[in-house]
Amino acid sequence: MKNNYAYGSLESYLDFGTLAFPIRWDAIFGNARPLELEIGFGTGEYLVGIAAAAPQTNFIGFEQDTKRIIKTLRKIHEAQLTNVRVMSVDARAGVEELFGPDALQKIHCLFPCPWPKKRHAKNRLFSSDFLKLMNTRLINGGVLKVVTDHAPYVAWIKENIPGSGFSVEARVIPPTYRTKFEKKWQESGQAEFYELVFTKMSAVLVEEKERGIMQKYLIAKADPAQAVFENLVGRVCVEFKEPLFDAARGQGMVLAIVTEDKRTQYLWIMIEQTPKGWRVGAAQGLNILPTEGVRLALVKARDAYENSGHA
C-alpha cells in the first residue's frame, strides 16, 4: 500500500524527550558502526546521499525547521535507509548533550547561516568555544567539513581556529553539493563557494558539564494552589510562569523557562496526587534536553510545592 503521509515514515525521527540519557547510539541503531553528524541538513539532499553511499556508517541529522524535517523524512523513507536518524535540536545543545567524547567520526555542516550583521555575530556557529567542543566529540583524526557561500564568514571562522586542536584546509570550489541552498545561490549568479575541512590533530580539554537528570520527586504533603515559585538568576536562569492546578483531579503544572549557554528551553513541570503522595516531574512528550538548568528547575519546583504543604 502506498504511503501518502507527507513525511513517509517517522521511524527515522528521534524525539529526545523520549530517550534515556546518556544516549547509547549503538542501541538506537542496533549496531556499533561509525557515527557521523550533519548540522542543519535542510531538505535532506546531502544527508540522504551520503547515508545511501555509506551503508556501514550511521548518520545523525540536526535541523530545527519542521517543514524541512518532513521533506527529509520523506526522502529517507523513499530511499529505504535504515542508517539515518534525524532530530529537531539546536546545534550547540545537541553536540554538547547528545554525544560523549570521541563519539563522532565526522561532522558535516553545509551552508550554515553566516549571520552577516555584526550585532548578530553571537549567533554564528564555529566560534572558538564551539570548535573546541566539537574537537572533544570527534575521534582523533576526525573531520569537520564546513561549506559556505559567504567569504567574510570564512574569515571569521579562521580567526577562531587557534587553540581548537584542528588543522584546516580551505579552498574555493565550484557548485558541488547540489543542495537546495547551493542551487539558490548558483541561480542568483554565484559560481564560487568555500569549503573548510578541519582535521583533529590534538585533543583539547573542555570541562564536561553535569548532565541534568529528569528525576521525579515524591512529596508527602503539598498544597499546589498555594505554591510560590522563586526564579533563579545567574549563569543559569529559571523563570516560572503560568502555574495551574485542578483540585478536583489532583493535578497541576507550571511552566519553567530555562536559559543557559545561549539556549532557552520551555519546561512544563507536572505535579500529581498519587496514593503515596505528590509526584513532581517533567511533563511527558517534551523535546527537553536534560541540562543543568533543567535539573535546577525541577529542584526549585519541587521545593516550591514541598514548602506549600507547610504554609
| Tens-place pLDDT, residues 109-158 | 999 999 988 888 888 999 999 999 999 999 999 999 999 999 999 999 99
Instruction: Please name every residue paired with 104 in a beta bridge, in sequence order, or none if there are none.
Output: 138
Cβ-based burial of 276 (10 A; exposed 0-12, middle 13-18, buried ≥19): exposed
- Cα–Cα nearest to 210, from 229, 235, 239, 240: 235
Write out 209-223 in H/E/C secondary structure: CCCCCCCCEEECCCC
| pLDDT-above-70 percentage for the chain | 95
What are the grid coordinates assigned to 70, written together? 518532513
Higher per-residue confidence, 291 vs 61: 61
Indicate yes or no: pTM above 0.75.
Answer: yes
User: What are the strands of the beta sheet with 217-219, ordered from one edge?
Assistant: 217-219, 277-282, 263-274, 251-260, 236-246
pLDDT for the residue numbered 136: 95
Average pLDDT over residues 307-311: 82
Instruction: Please name every residue paired with 267 in a beta bridge, in sequence order, or none if there are none.
Output: 256
- Please give the helix or strand (H or E) that residue 134 lies within, else none: helix 128-137
What are the grid coordinates assigned to 30, written together? 542496533
pLDDT for the residue numbered 215: 74
Query: Would you place residue 277 in the very low, low, confident or very high pLDDT band (cuts 50, 70, 90)?
Result: very high
Write down the mean pLDDT value for the chain.
Answer: 90
Q: Tens digit of pLDDT for each residue in 41-85?
A: 999 999 999 999 999 999 999 998 989 999 999 999 999 999 999
| pLDDT-above-90 percentage for the chain | 67
Q: Would the pLDDT of 2 be above 60?
A: no
Q: How far is CA 275 from CA 54, 129, 223, 248, 302, in A?
A: 53, 48, 15, 15, 18
Average pLDDT over residues 228-243: 93
Q: Tens digit of pLDDT for each residue in 194-205?
A: 999 999 999 998
pLDDT for the residue numbered 1: 42
Average pLDDT over residues 264-283: 92
